[in-house]
């Protein structure tokens, strides 16, 4: 009897202790790094793993469609250059964070986006727009984005949809543009209307649902406070008046490929929240 109690105590103790690898790092398993899923109030995502002390994160967490890879932009506090970091699920266990294989030293990788199929990743190195293509063992070498896509403007590509339309922010005006693939070629970029590009705000970033059913816009009035708005797409290609999401401060929105969670950046790290808050605004509209 005593021996059974000792065995039971040992089992309970093991279940309550974090499992660590040989280097002392926590072993993570399961979808979304095994993190406790958020509700309607934003929560810090993967504290100590993705939102790390000593680092400044500068993007949302972007997952591939199979949920087995995650990418984000960050830099150590004592360094100047951002890199795109990644983690992968291998044999059911998430690897430790490390820079993506295409990142080079002393180059700038602050903004990026994955295509909905996860086969391409677009980014800027601080000088030009580039993309990499998925290969069996990682990513290809960087490839220049054709200038026709953004008409040679100073731009940041924010989102690519299922039909391969590209949404981007064009500077210095900080407005949202779209270019669409038509007969194998991209059209002249079109500036979106006042529902998206408000005269009172500067638009910094945008996320568009793969089916273009809604768009989340990051905008600021004073270059300090950043707000997130949502606009819903109509069947005729129009966009509704944008409505503010119930998030006090946020940047670089991204919705998980399964449509369940909205990720965004704050000054404290990367947060996530149920994407139901988007549909709740649609019902109000």
pLDDT of the chain, 285 residues: tens digit per residue: 434 433 333 333 333 333 344 445 679 999 999 999 999 999 999 999 999 999 999 999 999 999 999 999 999 999 989 999 999 999 999 999 999 999 988 888 888 999 999 999 999 887 889 999 999 878 999 999 988 887 766 788 999 999 999 999 998 889 999 999 999 899 999 999 999 998 889 999 999 999 999 999 999 998 789 999 999 999 888 999 999 999 999 999 999 999 999 999 999 999 999 999 999 988 876
Q: How many domains does the chain have?
A: 1
Q: Is residue 109 part of a domain?
A: yes
Please indicate, yes or no, if residue 135 is contained in any of the structural domains.
Answer: yes
pLDDT score at 123: 93
The two three-digit tokens of residue 270, written as one number: 């990367």
The pLDDT value given to residue 244: 96
Here the tokens at position 72 are 């984000």
Full residue range of the structural domain in which residue 53 is found: 42-284
Q: Are 226 and 218 in contact (CB under 8 A)?
A: yes
- Does residue 134 have a cis bond before it (omega within 30 degrees)? no
Q: Phi/psi of residue 86, each to 5°?
A: -145, 155
Is the Cα dihedral 115, 118, 119, 120 positive or negative? positive
Q: Taking a C-beta distance cutoff of 8 angstroms, is the pair 204, 219 a contact? A: yes
| Residue 26 lies inside a defined structural domain of this protein | no
Asked if the structure places residue 187 within a domain, the reply is yes
Q: What is the CA radius of gyration of the chain?
A: 21
Check residue 12 and give its pLDDT.
33
262 domain residue, yes or no: yes
- Whether 92 is covered by a domain: the verdict is yes
Please give the pLDDT value at position 265: 96
How many other CB atoms sit within 10 Å of the CB of residue 201? 18
The answer to whether position 81 is within a domain reads yes
Residue 122 lies in a domain: yes
For residue 242, the domain's CATH number is: 2.120.10.30
Whole-number pLDDT of residue 285: 66
Alpha carbon of 201 to those of 90, 169, 224: distances in Å?
A: 43, 13, 12
Vertex 107: Cα angle to 99 and 88 (nearest 5):
15
Q: What is the pLDDT of residue 251?
A: 97
> What pTM was estimated for this model as a whole?
0.89
């Amino acid at each position: 009897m005593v021996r059974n109690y000792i065995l039971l105590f040992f089992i309970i103790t093991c279940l309550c202790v974090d499992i660590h690898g040989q280097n002392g790092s926590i072993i993570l398993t399961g979808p979304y790094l095994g993190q406790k899923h958020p509700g309607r109030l934003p929560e810090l995502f993967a504290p100590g793993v993705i939102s790390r002390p000593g680092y400044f994160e500068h993007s949302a967490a972007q997952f591939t469609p199979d949920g087995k890879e995650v990418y984000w932009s960050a830099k150590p506090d004592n360094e100047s250059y951002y890199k795109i970091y990644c983690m992968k699920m291998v044999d059911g266990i998430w690897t430790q964070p490390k820079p993506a294989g295409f990142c080079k030293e002393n180059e700038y990788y602050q903004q990026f986006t994955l295509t909905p199929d996860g086969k391409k990743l677009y980014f800027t190195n601080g000088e030009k727009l580039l993309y990499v293509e998925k290969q069996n063992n990682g990513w290809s070498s960087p490839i220049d984005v054709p200038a026709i896509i953004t008409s040679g403007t100073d731009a940041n590509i924010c989102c690519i949809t299922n039909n391969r339309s590209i949404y981007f922010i064009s500077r210095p005006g900080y407005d949202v543009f779209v270019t669409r693939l038509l007969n194998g070629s991209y059209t002249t970029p079109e500036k979106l209307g006042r529902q998206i590009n408000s005269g009172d705000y500067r638009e910094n970033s945008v996320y568009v649902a793969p089916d273009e059913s809604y768009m989340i816009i990051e905008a600021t009035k004073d270059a300090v406070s950043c707000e997130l708005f949502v606009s819903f797409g109509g069947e005729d290609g129009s966009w509704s008046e944008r409505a503010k999401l119930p998030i006090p401060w946020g940047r670089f929105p991204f919705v998980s490929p399964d449509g369940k969670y909205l990720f965004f950046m704050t000054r404290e790290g990367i947060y996530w929240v149920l994407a139901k808050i988007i549909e709740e605004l649609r019902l109000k509209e």
